[in-house]
Chain A
Amino acid sequence: MKNISAKIIFGLLSLVVMLAVISLSVCAETSQETATNDTPVVTTEVVTTEEITVVETVASEPVDTAPSETQAAGEETDASTSQEEGALNVDFTPSNFVANLKYMAAGMAGIFIVIGAIVLCIVILGKVTDRKSNDEE
């Protein structure tokens, strides 16, 4: 009975943590969309005249585009918006979890291989030193 309640508690705690993480990410997405829609798009043109480089900045009406396009076009404004107080400076990209599974596989395989090599060396070393001490005796 105790084991079952421990499992239930553990499951509930995991659920709460996951919900907190997801809700934070939803807030992040919402605040990013709000920042995108409200902020005028700033386009920057670089004009080079002989040795003088002039950067002309033109503000235009906000355009309802995909977040990535807006980010590319309005990089400066988005950067300043995202650094405002309380704004969440993260992008929720669930596909990255799957994309990074390869690192998990490679990392775990790498650790086991390295540790396996170390264990093998220690076992061989132990046998060699044991043999030497037996010969001396």
Chain B
Amino acid sequence: MEFLNLLSGLIPKSFDWRQIVMWIIGGVLIYLAIKKEMEPTLLLPIGFGAILVNLPVLGDLPALQELYNAGIATELFPLILFIGIGAMIDFGPLLSNPKLMIFGAAAQFGIFFTLCLASMFFAPNDAASIAIIGAADGPTAIVVADKLNSQYLPAIMVAAYSYMALVPLIQPPVIKALTTKKERMIRMPYTQKNVSKTTRILFPIIITVIAGIAAPSSVELVGFLMFGNLIRECGVLDSLSETAQKVLANLVTIFLGISIATTMRYDAFLRIETLLILGLGLFAFIFDTAGGVLFAKLLNVFLPKDKKINPMIGAAGISAFPMSGRIVHKMGLKEDPTNFLLMHSIGVNVSGQIASVIAGGLILNFFM
């Protein structure tokens, strides 16, 4: 009898069927990360963490909670990750043709359109946090949702990172629906321009100053991103640049993934609002793509025949770097195997990184 009592004491008292559902969701995320190689750096820790925090234990897991408090609640992890991202980005293609930056701006249309849509269902701070899924940038989404105290952070994170991985599936149908074959075959010759080292060094400093003045709430995000880039471009900190690109980025990614998972408890994640958020996030990506493409088409109305822009490069203005740029390049090659759009699309893609952070800062300006 005592033995049976001892055994029954091992059975967790607080067990909910929804915890099993979260195990399945965690398993699906792990499957997508490993088998389909969809953003494995984040989906794998998030998937594993989702299983971990939904095990029937007594109370919270203190270590994970401390990690969350230290890195997510303070927005430290996404900001440090931005140093690594900044160190990885080469702004050369953009600096040789800075006019491409306007497509990065146009492709943030989906964020603000989704803001209007989401506001029909959610409170302003939650609607703004959901809209920033359209930034296609994980750290920006975390920082904005955290600063606005959104209660839907776990759903927003899963949506942001999942859709970033699904960009190769989301963008092509939208681009094809909005362009004709003739437009997709527009050639854009690339003439390489040398960008001076002075320009490369001053660029991150100028961006930080301008963004800090125009959108003060974005100064942390922009500042850390540009600091990483400055480490890369200065030429005297090669070891720091390499550390930032590899060790620092990977280390923070591990902690970020597992910390986000602390918010994926079944009672916070398994809500009908999560489905709505996933739907709105998809809308954000679709209208981002549409915004960039349609803006390019609008410009073509005013441009002479020999200087037309291939509207597909507008779609590369989202922050999913370098996936979006490569997708546009591949679609261009499919239409015309001699049409190389890579340098243009990568330039636009890189500008999307900057524009998405500025959009995040503007959103914070409006709602904080």
Q: Which residues of A contact B (CB under 8 A)?
A: 3, 6-7, 9-11, 13-14, 17, 20-21, 24-25, 27-28, 86, 88-94, 96-97, 99-101, 103-104, 106-108, 110-119, 121-123, 125-126, 129-130, 132-133
**Does B203 contact A100, Cβ atoms closer than 8 Å?**
no
Q: How far is the CB of B290 from chain A (nearest CB, A)?
A: 10
Contact of B101 among A6, A28, A119 (CB under 8 A): A119
Q: A25-B120, A112-B102 are in contact. Are A118 and B173 (CB under 8 A)?
A: no
**Does B95 contact A126, Cβ atoms closer than 8 Å?**
yes
Instruction: Identify which of residues 202-230 in chain B touch chain A, using a CB-to-CB cut-off of 8 Å.
Output: 202-203, 206-207, 210-211, 214-215
Which chain B residue lies CB-closest to A13? Answer: B173
CA distance A93 to B101 in the complex (A): 36
**Does B199 contact A104, Cβ atoms closer than 8 Å?**
no
**Does B215 contact A110, Cβ atoms closer than 8 Å?**
yes
**Does A107 contact B362, Cβ atoms closer than 8 Å?**
yes
List of B residues within 8 angstroms of A106 by Cβ = 362, 366
Contact of B279 among A21, A86, A104 (CB under 8 A): A21
Q: How far is the CB of B350 from chain A (nearest CB, A)?
A: 12
**Does B276 contact A119, Cβ atoms closer than 8 Å?**
no
Which chain A residue lies CB-closest to B117? Answer: A97
Contact of B276 among A21, A97, A104, A123 (CB under 8 A): A21
Instruction: Identify which of residues 30-66 in chain B touch chain A, using a CB-to-CB cut-off of 8 Å.
Output: none
Question: When each residue 343-367 of chain B gets 1 if its CB lies under 8 Å from chain A and 0 otherwise, what string results?
Answer: 0000000010011001100110010
**Does B105 contact A112, Cβ atoms closer than 8 Å?**
yes
**Does A115 contact B272, Cβ atoms closer than 8 Å?**
no
Q: How far is the CB of B198 from chain A (nearest CB, A)?
A: 5
Contacts A/B (CB < 8 Å), 23 sampled? A3-B176, A6-B173, A17-B282, A21-B276, A24-B272, A24-B276, A25-B121, A88-B273, A90-B121, A90-B122, A94-B120, A103-B115, A103-B366, A104-B112, A106-B366, A111-B108, A114-B215, A115-B104, A115-B105, A115-B354, A122-B203, A125-B198, A125-B206
**Does B174 contact A118, Cβ atoms closer than 8 Å?**
no
B116 at the interface (CB under 8 A from A): yes
**Does B196 contact A133, Cβ atoms closer than 8 Å?**
yes
CA distance A11 to B177 in the complex (A): 9
**Does B120 contact A104, Cβ atoms closer than 8 Å?**
no
**Does B116 contact A121, Cβ atoms closer than 8 Å?**
no
Since A17-B283, A107-B111, A115-B102 are in contact, a sample of 9 more A-B pairs with Cβ atoms closer than 8 Å, ordered by chain A residue number, is A3-B176, A9-B173, A11-B177, A27-B272, A94-B120, A104-B115, A110-B214, A118-B210, A119-B101
List of B residues within 8 angstroms of A111 by Cβ = 105, 108, 355, 358-359, 362
**Does A119 contact B196, Cβ atoms closer than 8 Å?**
no
**Does B354 contact A118, Cβ atoms closer than 8 Å?**
yes
List of A residues within 8 angstroms of B207 by Cβ = 118
**Does A86 contact B366, Cβ atoms closer than 8 Å?**
no
Which chain B residue lies CB-closest to A90? Answer: B121
**Does A108 contact B120, Cβ atoms closer than 8 Å?**
no
Q: How far is the CB of B15 from chain A (nearest CB, A)?
A: 15
Instruction: Identify which of residues 283-313 in chain B touch chain A, using a CB-to-CB cut-off of 8 Å.
Output: 283, 286
Contact of A129 among B98, B199, B286, B366 (CB under 8 A): B199
B250 at the interface (CB under 8 A from A): no
Contact of B174 among A10, A20, A21 (CB under 8 A): A10
B253 at the interface (CB under 8 A from A): no
Contact of A89 among B271, B279, B358 (CB under 8 A): B271
List of B residues within 8 angstroms of A117 by Cβ = 210, 214
B340 at the interface (CB under 8 A from A): no
CA distance A27 to B275 in the complex (A): 13
